[in-house]
Amino acid sequence: MVPRTDRAPERRRIYLDCNATTPLRAEVLAAMEPYFSDLYANPSSAHSLGSRARTAVEEARETVAQILGVKRSEIVFTSGGTESNHLALLGAAAALDPGVILSTPIEHSSVLRALDYLADQGWDVRNVELLPDGRVDLEQMERQLEPNVQLVSVGWANNEIGTLQPVAEIFALCETRGILFHTDAVQVPGKLPFHRVPAHLMSLSGHKFGGPKGVGCLVVREGVLIRPLFRGGSQERGLRAGTENVPGIVGFAEALRIAARSAERFVARVCPLRDRLWEHLRQIPGVQRHGAVGENVLANTLMVTVDGVAADALIAALDLEGICVSAGSACAAGAAEPSHVLLALGIPVERAQGSVRFSLSEDVTESEIDFVAECFAKAVRRIRAAEETARQGFTA
Amino acid sequence: MTRVLVAMSGGVDSSVAAALLVEAGYDVIGVAMRLWNGPSDSGCCSLDDFVDARRVAARLGIPFFVMDFSDLFERHVVRPFAEDYLRGRTPNPCARCNQFVKFDALFSRAQALGADFLATGHYARLVRGPEGEWHLHTARSRDKDQSYFLFGLPRQRLAQILFPVGDRTKQEVRALAREKKLPVAEKPESQEVCFVPRRDYAEFVEKYTGQAGAPGPIVDENGAVLGVHDGIHRFTIGQRRGLRVGGGRPRYVVDLDPNTGTVRVGDRTATLAQGLRAIQVNWLVSRLPEPGEQLTVKIRSRFNPTPVVVESADATTFVVRAPGRLQAVTPGQAAVLYDGDRVVGGGWIDAPI
């Protein structure tokens, strides 16, 4: 078919879906490029070309370790957040006798499904009590940390509602009791400045902070025993067999370096924009905000629900204006689904079906935020009017 | 620019419909409807279908969204389907889906997205009458005609609906798909009920409702018991196969009694009715037919339109008589009245007369 030329040129895209993924930074791509082309060797090869690749992987490991304030030997590169969470939970469980695992019902699906699997394997998986904003109730949790608890997994920053957990306090509670603590920190780098790893096991994913997809890492603090998911070569000290994703690992380290350096600036920039967006949206009747506020939420995240409006209609309407947002959850086909996080926080399913998550990047401007709010209000009005017409047509 | 929302199933008809709209210069938005989350093997709502629809949209350069209508679909289509079978009726889920989901809920979505029209890949035509009013007509291609399934369209919305493939044959549609290099050009037809795996309605009804069929007697015209069956949901009026009652002459199901679980059989003449009564009627003309008016009726999708005389017609019901008799009038199926090519209206068969 002849390409159409009579369509309006695509307008500027406003990307407010940074908790789903972020664009690869140009500097990161530049750092990765040699390892796709000239420096293609296997890091395990003994020749000099292999040595170049090995050096790149180990320098990346050193960069990551320095930023996180841990030792090089505590970094295990993986294929991303899901693998890191599985390696942490299944790997730690394999080295322990089955007992109690404490977690929350608002974790990422890769944590929830890994815990389902462990429950099938005989583990007693329990939920800790959550406050209405999604924060762990520390007092309740302390009571739940009985001697038979072996492992605790609580995500640092929730990807849907942005709520931040008191991970330092949870870590302290676990440490004094000799309980392993894992945190899924995939949403943290670049969006929240931090100076230490508040867990025995911590998962990260490169593409959430300007790095490439398909690479992540698990921090395994010294003395923590886990078993590998994959067996084979001795890569990653035997904890993750398989030829290293050299360009990915190089990109991961470079992206983490930039993210750590710019996190404070990011917060200072996007927090007022996120608040400005909410100031606009709260004027619309039937719009509710979910999750924590102030210091207890990611600076870039705003999760709202709209009474009587289906998320997929809203997302499509915004998309037609060039605005990219998410409902929070989607099925394999791509249809919006009620967010399991909202459902776990007791939000009724009808309301949870109308959820829209804004997760801002630092590139968005004030005028774009105003435009987004305007489009959102218009879309809500149109959807409600269409539903109203349909209802009247039905009874007539 | 005129905006059109086109329902895209990932099949060849709706893909070509979308392509024709793009070619005609409309501002086209593709939407795939997620209707059913259970197992299905008949080419609807499988992940591959959504992938195909998305690929076609990408090829056409149009925005594409998957939207979930599974709650509505279950409420208005799947549950009534199972309940009808248990009540000895033979449902028509496609007509209900068109009436309650595609041309209602999806229509609302189209309006919400600022679309001026809703388009689908159905084989039917919309024709403008002398006073500017819109009429639903059969497709040009008689063997592909789907107007029977569309009788429930709200009349006031006909002006905002488009059937871009309605005046083409299937061969033409396939040829267009090939010409436009659509990735679904060679995709096989899916004609079965989309949510029922392996065409096994009885198994679906049992699994969905969690009820094994209640056994009951099979009796002849005189009430003599000829055998037993394992549930009336396994039968439809006019059915001949699978009765297992022996005897030399062919026997047909003539009645299903949900109260006693009785399947009554008879010879072919016993399946002939003088006419029928339809309820929940939707009229697609401004003037109701008068008693004595001559029309034709279709009482199932594969049925030659048969001449009938209108006995009565009001806003929600009609009674028609067929001088030549109607074979196997089946409660639960749709009865659609035609004046030539034009759909006059239709309703659900309540009972033969």
Six-digit token string for B70: 């599974």
Residue B177, C-beta contacts closer than 8 angstroms, at least 6 positions apart = B12, B15, B16, B19, B184, B185
Which of chain A's residues have a Cβ under 8 Å away from the Cβ of B47? 332-333
3-state secondary structure of B342: strand
Cβ of A390 within 8 Å of Cβ of B54? The answer is no
Mutate to test the interface with A, among B104, B108, B161 (most CBs of A within 10 A): B108
Select A26-259's CATH number: 3.40.50.300, 3.30.70.270, 3.40.710.10, 3.40.640.10.
Answer: 3.40.640.10
Q: Tell if the CB–CB gap between B109 and A393 is shorter than 8 Å.
A: no
Predicted pLDDT of residue B244? 73
pTM of the model: 0.91
Cβ contact A312–B66 (<8 Å): yes
Contacts of A7 in chain B (CB under 8 A): 61
Distance from CA of B180 to the nearest CA of A (A): 6
Could you tell me the CA-to-CA distances from B262 to B9, B118, B221, B233, B251 in Å, in that order? 40, 45, 12, 11, 15
**Cβ(A315)–Cβ(A326) below 8 Å:** yes
Sign of the four-CA dihedral A173, A174, A178, A179:
positive
A349 touches chain B (CB under 8 A): no
Nearest CA in chain B to A378: B112
Q: What is the pLDDT of residues B93-108, one digit of tens each?
A: 999 999 999 999 999 9
**Structural domains of chain B, ranges and CATH numbers in brackets:** 3-197 (3.40.50.620), 213-266 (2.30.30.280), 272-352 (2.40.30.10)
> Looking at the partner chain, which of B67, B111, B156 has a beta carbon nearest the beta carbon of A386?
B111
Query: What is the ipTM metric for this complex?
Result: 0.88
For B295, list phi and psi in degrees, rounded to 5: -135, -175
**Looking at chain A, which residue has its C-alpha nearest residue B52?**
A333
Q: Is A378 exposed, middle or buried (0-12, 13-18, 19+ CB in 10 A)?
A: middle
Question: Residue for token digits 């019901």?
Answer: B317
Q: Across the interface, do B67 and A320 touch by the CB < 8 Å criterion?
A: no
CB contact under 8 A, B66 and A389: no
| 3 state SS of B229 | strand
Of B47, B65, B180, the CB nearest to A316: B65
- Chain A, residues 1-20, CB within 8 A of chain B, namely 1, 3-4, 6-7
Beta strands B262-266 and B216-219: pairing type? Answer: parallel
The residue among B104, B33, B40 whose CA lies nearest residue B64 is: B33
Contacts of A275 (CB under 8 A, 6+ apart): none
Q: Cβ of B166: how many Cβ atoms within 10 Å?
A: 26
* CA–CA gap between residue B266 and residue B43 (Å, rounded): 37
Q: Please say if the pLDDT value at position A2 is more than 70.
A: no
Active site includes A271? no
Q: Would you mind telling me the total number of residues written for chain B in this entry?
A: 353
Amino acid A371: pLDDT: 97
Question: Residue for token digits 């209900």?
Answer: B96
List the catalytic residues of B. 97, 194
Portion of chain A with pLDDT greater than 90, in percent: 90
CA distance A172 to A193: 20
CATH number of the structural domain A264-387:
3.90.1150.10
Is the pLDDT assigned to residue A298 strictly greater than 60? yes
Look at residue A128 and tell me whether its pLDDT is greater than 70: yes
* Smallest Cα distance from A383 to chain B, Å: 4
- In this predicted structure, the answer to whether residue B171 has a pLDDT above a threshold of 60 is yes
Over residues B279-301, the pLDDT tens digits come to 999 999 999 999 999 999 999 99
Question: What residue of A is the nearest CA neighbor of B103?
Answer: A390
Q: How far is CA A72 from the centre of its chain?
A: 24
SS (H, E, C) B110-163: HHHCCCCEEECCCCEEEEECCCCCEEEEECCCHHHCCHHHHCCCCHHHHHHEEC
Chain A closest-CA separation from residue B104 CA (Å): 7
Q: Look-up: residue for tokens 């035609």?
A: B338
User: Cα dihedral angle (B96, B100, B105, B106), rounded to 10 degrees?
Assistant: 30
**pLDDT > 70 in chain B, percent:** 97
Using CB atoms, pick whichever of A335, A383, A390 lies closest to residue B34: A335
Note whether B66 and B46 are within 8 A (CB).
Answer: no
> Is 90 exceeded by the pLDDT of residue A5?
no
Place B91 in a pLDDT band, splitting at 50, 70 and 90.
Answer: very high
Helices (H), A95-157: 109-120, 138-144
Instruction: Count CB pairs under 8 A between chains A and B.
Output: 83
Residues within 8 A of A (CB atoms), B 233-292 only: none
pLDDT for B212: 81
Nearby residues of A145 by Cβ (< 8 Å), 6 or more positions away = A102, A152, A173, A174, A177, A179
**B295 in contact with A, Cβ within 8 Å:** no
pLDDT digits over A139-153, tens only?
A: 999 999 999 999 999
pLDDT at A10: 58
Burial class, B181, CB count within 10 angstroms (exposed 0-12 / middle 13-18 / buried 19+): exposed
Q: Is B48 on the interface with A (CB under 8 A)?
A: no
What does DSSP assign to residue A238?
Answer: G
Contacts of B68 in chain A (CB under 8 A): 310, 312, 331, 335-337
Q: Mind listing the pLDDT tens digit for each residue in A263-290?
A: 999 999 999 999 999 999 999 999 999 9
Interchain proximity A332–B47, CB inside 8 Å: yes
Ordered by start, the domain boundaries in chain A are 26-259, 264-387
Query: Which 3 state secondary structure label does DSSP give A260?
Result: helix
The pLDDT tens digits for A196-207 are 999 999 999 999
Which residue is it, tokens 């690929």?
B55
CB contacts of B178 in chain A (<8 Å) are: none
For residues B6 and B224, which has the higher predicted lDDT (pLDDT)? B6
Q: Is the pLDDT of residue A56 over 60?
A: yes
The angle at the Cα of A357, spanning A297 to A78, to the nearest 5 degrees, equals 75
Backbone angles phi, psi at B296, to 5 degrees: -120, 160
C-alpha B210/C-alpha B108 separation (Å) is 34
